[in-house]
Amino acid sequence: MTVELTDKEMEVVVELLETHLKDILVEIRHTTSREFRRELQAREQVIAALLGKVGALQGKP
């Protein structure tokens, strides 16, 4: 799948991903459910991977 985004749209996507990642990290620290923590950690990995891909598209490490 290919999606074409303007620079501004890409900026917003990165902002959303970064914000959601921060929120998930807070939630991981506060949850007492092991199962929910594992789900959040899996989601954290997906978001981090997405940020890596977006960074590569933008020429950032």
Q: What percent of the chain has pLDDT over 90?
A: 79
pLDDT for position 2:
87
What pLDDT does 3 receive?
A: 86
Helix axes 7-30, 34-57, angle to 10 degrees: 160
Spell out the domain ranges in the chain.
Answer: 7-56
Round the average pLDDT of the chain to a whole number and report it. Answer: 92
Gap between the Cα atoms of 30 and 37, Å rounded: 9
Which pLDDT band, with edges at 50, 70 and 90, does 57 fall under? confident
Note the pLDDT of residue 29: 96
Whole-structure pTM value: 0.83
Assess contact for 11 and 58: CB atoms under 8 A.
no
